[in-house]
Amino acid sequence: MKVIAIMNQKGGVGKTTTTLNLAHALAIQGKNVLTLDMDPQGHLSSCFAVDTYNSSGMDEVLIDDKSIQDTFLNVRENLFLVPAGARLGELETKVQEGKNKGYRLTEALASLKADNSTLSKEAQLDYIFVDCPPASGLLAMNAILACDELIVPVTGDYLALQGLSRLIKVVSHIEQTLQRSTKKWFVLTRFQKQRKLANQIREKMVGYFPNQVFETAIRENVSLAESPGFSKTIFEYKPKSNGAEDYQNLAIDLLEQRTFH
């Protein structure tokens, strides 16, 4: 079971879109996938038509120590969701200071991992995707500490690169403190192939992060923006769209560790 956080403190870069559609692409291929909505705004939950304000979710897991196993919903074949829950934002403000504040997700996942290993191979979870909020506070910290790998969606503009260096600094600081390193992947999103700038950004990214930029860039595609309005993933809404093709290829990139050269 691999835990992958989809992270970037910048909003609107495609974290939720990537969590939703990459998770569904893998579920369609027969993998068992759990998604965790770690954004208090609950966008991922809404994409699955789950009303986050009337659901138990990550708020109870992280604040009240409820188990993930008691909270997840089966949203599609092979695909599960823990909604954000109405009180998730309170973790940043109301939860008492404490040494373990950053490790709540790690602890919840440890119990899930133990349970998972007792299941039959077919029933075991293969992937957990954590959809992070557009911030670098305690929720993101919990995700960094709990994950095996990070996927960072990046859009093709210069400000995106600026924000990225900050994110990398935060992550490396944590890595140094903990003396471990987390595998980092980057995916270009909202990519406009005909734009010189987008291609320049891709070249720069590959220069900075060799063998870490996924081969597939997710093209700008209106169907990806429309599908949540119908509570559908791209594979249900427009299976022949560029968006569906790109997320299916991204799933193969992840499975085969395929990167852009």
Ligand X SMILES: Nc1ncnc2c1ncn2[C@@H]1O[C@H](COP(=O)(O)OP(=O)(O)O)[C@@H](O)[C@H]1O
Cβ proximity to ligand X: between 38 and 91 the closer is 38
H helical segments located in the chain: 15-28, 43-47, 58-63, 90-93, 104-116, 138-146, 158-178, 196-208, 222-226, 234-237, 242-256
Please state, in angstroms and rounded to a whole number, the distance separating the CA atoms of residues 156 and 193: 10
CB distance 168 to 149 below 8 Å = no
Cβ proximity to ligand X: between 105 and 188 the closer is 188
- Residue 162 token pair: 């600026």
Range 130-159, binding ligand X (CB under 6 A)? 134
Cβ proximity to ligand X: between 112 and 250 the closer is 250
Residue 133, phi then psi, degrees to nearest 5: -75, 165
Interior angle at CA 100, CA 94 and CA 105, nearest 5? 85
Cβ proximity to Mg ion: between 66 and 150 the closer is 150
108 binds, among ligand X, Mg ion, none (CB under 5 to 8 A by kind): none
13 binds, among ligand X, Mg ion, none (CB under 5 to 8 A by kind): ligand X
Residues 6+ apart with CB under 8 A from 202: 156, 188, 191, 213, 217, 260
Segment interacting with ligand X (CB under 6 A) among 15-23, 95-103, 107-115, 139-147: 15-23
Segment interacting with ligand X (CB under 6 A) among 9-17, 84-92, 113-121, 143-151: 9-17
CB distance 44 to 38 below 8 Å = no
Segment interacting with ligand X (CB under 6 A) among 13-21, 116-124, 192-200, 206-214: 13-21
Residue 24, strand partner residues:
none
In a 3-state reduction of DSSP, which class is residue 235? helix
CB of 233 to ligand X, least distance (A): 12
Range 161-190, binding ligand X (CB under 6 A)? 189-190
Cβ proximity to Mg ion: between 32 and 35 the closer is 35
Cβ proximity to ligand X: between 15 and 238 the closer is 15
CB of 15 to Mg ion, least distance (A): 5
Q: Under the criterion CB under 5 A, does residue 232 sit at the interface with Mg ion?
A: no
Q: Under the criterion CB under 6 A, does residue 13 sit at the interface with ligand X?
A: yes
Interior angle at CA 218, CA 212 and CA 219, nearest 5? 140
Q: Under the criterion CB under 6 A, does residue 218 sit at the interface with ligand X?
A: yes
12 binds, among ligand X, Mg ion, none (CB under 5 to 8 A by kind): ligand X
CB distance 8 to 15 below 8 Å = yes
Q: Under the criterion CB under 5 A, does residue 190 sit at the interface with Mg ion?
A: no
Applying CB under 5 A, which residues contact Mg ion?
15-16, 43
Applying CB under 6 A, which residues contact ligand X?
11-17, 43, 134, 189-190, 218, 220-221, 224-225
